[in-house]
Amino acid sequence: MPRAILTVEDVSKTYDGFKAISNLNFYLQEGELRVVIGPNGAGKSTFFDLITGRAKPDKGKIEFGSDPMTHSDLTGMNEYEINRLGISRKFQTPSVYGEHTVWDNLVLSIKGPRGVFASLFRKLNSTERDRLDELLKLIRLDGKREWKAGLLAHGEKQWLEIGMLLAAEPKLLLVDEPAAGMTDEETHRTGELLINLSGKHSIVVVEHDMAFVKQIARDGNVTVLHQGTVLCEGKFDEVQSNQKVREVYLGRGKHGTR
Amino acid sequence: MSAASSRKIEFIAVAVIATFLIVGLPLLNAYGFVDNFWINVWGKYLCFALLAISVDLLWGYTGLLSLGQSMFFALGGYMLGMHLMLMIGEEGVYAKAGKNPELLPDFMVFLGHTFLPAFWRPFYSFGFSALMVVLVPGLLALAFGFLAFRSRIKGVYFSILTQALTYGAALLFFRNSMLMGGNNGFTDFKFILGSDLRTGATQRGLFIATAVTLLIVYLLIRWLSHTKFGLVQRAIRDGENRVLFSGYATAHFKLFIFTLSAAIASVGGALYVPQVGGINPSVMTPEKSLEAVVWVAVGGRGTLLGPILGAIVINALKTWATVRYPDYWLIILGGLFILVVLFLPGGLVSLPKRLAPLWKKFRAPAAPTASTPAV
């Protein structure tokens, strides 16, 4: 088995005595699309916070990169350094720049130098423009390129944020509830997009919507988080029929399927 | 109205106003149509416009409400003021009375000093002083900003900290032991670059220099807002997290803009001092910073012309009101601020846009047949 692109080993994080993550182990292979599910408070967002540098683990290791010579220890890095390695995160509530146009949102996200002086003097070249034009078509916002992002519908904002992530050409995408607030059709398209992206990108998707999970998980692995640790991991059907998983979901008065 | 045509209108407006300020008004003054007093007063307004721009760059464009900009403004004034104090030379009160052989600034003689402190000496040079106008506030902003932004201090905490900074600086400058003139500060200047500050021609020259500086700063900010830096700046204002998680070290961007703003405020202060004829620590107090924030809010924050317009309009109003209704000025100012915040959040610059529909409604009944608008 090849070395994982993302290695999370024995990681714990406590907030004011509350164990948000405890002894978590998580391995993601290059090009894999992994869905993470779990009831509210299972630690899914903290999990992303730890990978992206927003929070520091109390213990354990988080490493990125499949090459043992060049892999990076993420625990000692901050948000923008981690992003520059090629890890992009999509937030649960769409976070786009509302006062900027759709186009400028993408310009801000396109892969390239991120320093102060580069931003003062560097302009987009024609290849980059073409790339952004293509992206606009992919996220179906080419007709709204001069719109202020704040005026977009909720689903469109979600897509724009996905477009922003893709503009950065990340190696690893962390996607937090991409289907929230979308219509069934939009959800389905989002699923197809994610499936298309896997292979070229490694992707972790946190999701609640079971129909959506089933669509994108296909025969890949699904990880169930519960109380900050992995409850079980396996194919969608195995996980769905797992007794422990059912207890966790049903025990909280929440049905596993929608 | 298309973007191109509105840009053209803006260009023409700026060109007309700049030409009037840089050429027209000084000519009118030279031929006696405009009194020296008004040149001086307008020169002061334009300096305040520079201060307002520095506030807007931080608050309007980056979302950082700095209440310390008056400190940078005053520091610039002090740096040039030191030079001007040394240029008084034999015309000082003590020197004329033959009690000041070393030609020290009068306040030093008064305090019993007999020689010039070492840190004052380089200020004999105008070039050095001009350099310090940019460097001292710039480096101070760099150091303060580095600590503040590295610790991720933002929002109201940043405002409070900058306010404390300017307050602390004012207290320091009030002290005579600072050797910066204590609570009287510097005054009684005589010469700048060999020209007599008491003549209309010198004041006119200073006015032109101020107007040119304002134009340059305006063009600089305009350019900046059209670069990717400008995009990042406004993105930080609207969602710093996203920017941070997009690979931008937001602290570096904030540090750059904080330092640039300090330098702009400082240059404004340096131009202010010779035109007003003095500088003292009261200019550093937090109230002055708050006033500048009001100018920006009234003019329109996050816009290029808003702070300039706000600074001029409010100060013109102040000049008028403090003569006519001296007791009510602060009430008028406060009232105006509340009115703008409640009814015109975009400030005065948004007025034309706000009034356009009313104007259409007003004109519509006159020509009911031609009601299909040509967009």
Domain containing residue A24: CATH number: 3.40.50.300
| Total domains, chain A | 1
Beta strand extents in chain B (DSSP E only): 186-187, 191-192, 195-196, 278-279
Q: How is residue A82 written in tokens?
A: 């981690």
**What per-residue confidence (pLDDT) applies to B51?**
98
| Phi, psi at A199, each rounded to 5° | 100, -65
ipTM summary value: 0.89
Residue B55 has pLDDT above 90, yes or no: yes
Contacts of B229 in chain A (CB under 8 A): 116, 119-120
Inter-CA distances, B226 with A94, A98, B147, B232, B308, Å = 26, 17, 29, 11, 19
- Its pTM stands at 0.91
Is A49 a member of any domain? Answer: yes
Domain range for residue A227? Answer: 6-94+171-251
Cβ separation of B243 and A108 shorter than 8 Å? yes
User: What tens digit of pLDDT does each residue of B222-266 get?
Assistant: 999 999 999 999 999 999 999 999 999 999 999 999 999 999 999
Per residue in A57-88, pLDDT tens? 999 999 998 887 788 899 989 999 999 999 99
Q: Inspect the interface and report whether the beta carbons of A79 and B244 lie closer than 8 Å.
A: yes
Residue A115 counted as domain residue: no
Q: Is the pLDDT of residue B54 over 70?
A: yes
Please list every residue in chain B whose beta carbon sits closer than 8 Å to the beta carbon of residue A115.
249, 252
Largest CA distance in chain B: 85
Residue A156 lies in a domain: no
Total beta-carbon pairs less than 8 A apart between chain A and chain B: 77
Map out the domains of chain B as residue ranges.
3-285
Look at residue A79 and tell me if it is in a domain. Answer: yes
A161 assigned to some structural domain: no
pLDDT for the residue A252: 52
A140 CA: distance to closest CA in chain B (Å)? 22
Q: Is A255 exposed, middle or buried (0-12, 13-18, 19+ CB in 10 A)?
A: exposed
Put simply, the answer to whether A109 touches B253 (Cβ < 8 Å) is no
Phi, psi (rounded to 5 degrees) for A92: -65, -55
